[in-house]
Chains A and B, each alone.
With several copies, the nearest count.
Chain A
Amino acid sequence: MVKLLPQINNLTIHNSAIKELTINNLTILNNVNPHNKSIEELKEIAAQVRRDIVRMVHAVNSGHPGGSLGCTDYFVSLYFRVMNYKPSPFNMDGEGEDLFFLSNGHISPVWYSVLARAGFFEVKELATFRKINSRLQGHPATEEGLEGIRVASGSLGQGLSVAVGAAQTKKLNKDNNLVYVLMGDGELGEGQVWEAAMYAAHNKVDNLIATVDRNYQQIDGGTEEVLSLGDLRAKFEAFGWHVLEADGNNFELLLPALEDAKRATGNGKPVMILMDTEMGFGVDFMMGSHKWHGVAPNDEQLEIALQQLAVQQASDY
């Protein structure tokens, strides 16, 4: 049985030019991910993370399972394969590391689970999610020093600006690593996103890979009913970005897309991945609508969900 708990090797972080390696027939750039899992392993980790998510929101009868489940494969890819980082000791400044920012902070469950499973803090702390005196706030927060979080989010629309600023600091510091940021698609209604998009293109912030969780859902319904985003590729291209598309719920397609995105960096344009996901992915009754954006499963629903996600449960918290 594959061990899922994180193995933190004392990796030396190389901050030098991008290297190319080939693993599992994929070309991996700048490969200093501390876990560097195979696709099979990633799938198991993703199942584990999804179980964490439904358990966490069930335990407090609040939180956001829909987007969390939809973005699980993306988070698992970043933290267990793609990003260069050092989980411990956590360094707020992140020099010599890739950085990740979550703008759509409501999907904190997936981030917390992945951070714990990747070695930033202990898995058992997941049980404190949304409870009083916890470091695992409803939306990501830095106040109590939770390892892995560099800025608070939850009020939508702010994360891209923060990520662009962090990317510019990396340039000032001659740090070659990359900055990643995830946003929701409903979140793109916020004008600040477009301010940041315009700024990043004008200033050639090309060490940045932004991703939109294109699940076509937001709270009040489908994005195209609430406030249609229409042709997002055309919008971001008109705003001066290099735009890629990806399937966010299929590692075989997502990993190459993330590698493509890396390759697209350094070319004078910020990079945007429009990532198709399904809200609630992995739990059939949570899929296909906006209903599970912010609703927790009851006991019975939890059991069904866990069965559907039962690749193996050895290390569940």
Chain B
Amino acid sequence: MKEFKYTEKKDTRSGFGAGLLELGRTNENVVALCADLTGSLKMDAFEKEFPERFFQVGIAEANMMGLAAGMTIGGKIPFTGTFANFSTGRVYDQIRQSIAYSGKNVKICASHAGLTLGEDGATHQILEDVGMMKMLPHMTVINPCDFNQTKAATIAIAEHEGPVYLRFGRPAVPNFTPADQKFEIGKAVMLNEGTDVTILATGHLVWKAIEAGHKLAEKGINAEIINIHTIKPLDDEAILASVGKTKCVVTAEEHQLNGGLGDSVAQLLGRNLPTPLEMIGVNDSFGESGTPDQLMEKYGLSTDNIVAAAERVISRK
């Protein structure tokens, strides 16, 4: 199992903030909108440096999505920022009609996704956002795994013409991907080649998949670990190639089992290559208040859960 090193833990939302600031400096068409959560989204540096390109919307997310759609007319590239819940479920119909169906070049940037939001509890812990966004035709759905990757993704999506959902989170997590990476939308990243089981992880679960890979290696299990930072379009080819080799799969994500990466993989396999699958995710329940670690543990999203799922799925081959 390959070693992955990090010197620092950093929050993915700060990766977004850093990427947005850089975009402000390099692309004058980039504008940013925020619904009264500038600090939480780490958009303050952009606001400070480019006040005329920053739009404070107040607590009115539906309006924000419409504004962003309108701002594309005349060539702006709007980045909207609010919590993932208010970026999706609160404004689904607005995104659907004014952005996705209208083919508008809006980047929906969503923080505090998933359980790791922590103490605020279930009303804020959206676990259905990926499911919603990936159902939308024309939408690209990205969930990077650490600070560096989130920064790279933020910069990359400005170059991509069309609506994008970019999901990131609140807590500091190991920052292990290269600072100078080029982010390729839709291209899965092979982290560790293996032969016994394929682990497909996204977002905060990528690091846990790496940890699980080490634990599995100790048990003599050679896991192939792939970072699926883009959930839509899914890198079918990379997944099918890996599964063709390992003959079993574990998916891992900070999302409901329904509608997430796991379902996309289940569909891909069922339609092409029926294969034993185990899914790590939240099993049809709301989250609750607690620390990120406590919650990931309680809801079955820990490293050990991935290890157990890998062993289970191998035994089903």
- Which residue numbers of A lie inside 8 Å of B, CB to CB? 60, 62-63, 92-95, 99, 101, 105, 130-134, 136-139, 141-143, 150-170, 172-173, 175, 186-187, 189-192, 195-196, 198-199, 202-203, 218-220, 226-227
A93-B75 in contact given A196-B63, A199-B57 (Cβ < 8 Å):
yes
- Which residue numbers of B lie inside 8 Å of A, CB to CB? 31, 34, 36-40, 52-53, 55-60, 62-76, 78, 85-86, 90, 93-94, 96-98, 101-104, 118-124, 286, 288-291, 294-295, 298
Is there contact, CB below 8 Å, between A105 and B123? yes
Is there contact, CB below 8 Å, between B70 and A195? no
A62-B119 in contact given A93-B75, A138-B289 (Cβ < 8 Å):
yes
Is there contact, CB below 8 Å, between B58 and A198? yes
Q: List 25 A-B contacts (CB under 8 A).
A: A62-B119, A62-B120, A93-B74, A94-B73, A130-B289, A132-B294, A133-B288, A142-B101, A153-B97, A158-B94, A162-B70, A164-B63, A165-B69, A165-B71, A169-B70, A169-B74, A175-B74, A191-B62, A191-B63, A196-B66, A199-B63, A220-B36, A220-B56, A226-B56, A227-B58
The smallest beta-carbon distance between B60 and chain A, in angstroms, is 4
Is there contact, CB below 8 Å, between B94 and A132? no
Assuming A94-B73, A143-B286, what are 15 further A-B pairs, CB within 8 angstroms? A60-B119, A133-B288, A137-B122, A152-B97, A152-B102, A154-B97, A162-B67, A164-B63, A164-B66, A164-B67, A169-B71, A169-B73, A189-B57, A191-B60, A199-B63
Is there contact, CB below 8 Å, between B59 and A186? yes
Which of B67, B102, B291 is A161 in contact with, Cβ under 8 Å? B67
Is there contact, CB below 8 Å, between A99 and B73? yes
Which residues of chain A come closer than 8 Å to B72, judged between CB atoms? 169
Which residues of chain A come closer than 8 Å to B76, judged between CB atoms? 169, 172
Is there contact, CB below 8 Å, between A152 and B39? no
Cα–Cα, bound, A41→B109 (Å): 49
Cα–Cα, bound, A226→B36 (Å): 7
Cα–Cα, bound, A137→B286 (Å): 12
Which residues of chain B come closer than 8 Å to A202, judged between CB atoms? 58
Cα–Cα, bound, A92→B71 (Å): 12
| Residue in A101, A105, A166, A191 with the greatest tally of chain B CB atoms within 10 Å | A166
Is there contact, CB below 8 Å, between A158 and B97? yes
- Interchain residue pairs A-B with the least CB separation, the first 3: A161-B66, A165-B70, A227-B58
Which of B34, B60, B69 is A162 in contact with, Cβ under 8 Å? B69
The smallest beta-carbon distance between B85 and chain A, in angstroms, is 7
The smallest beta-carbon distance between A162 and chain B, in angstroms, is 4
Is there contact, CB below 8 Å, between B39 and A227? no
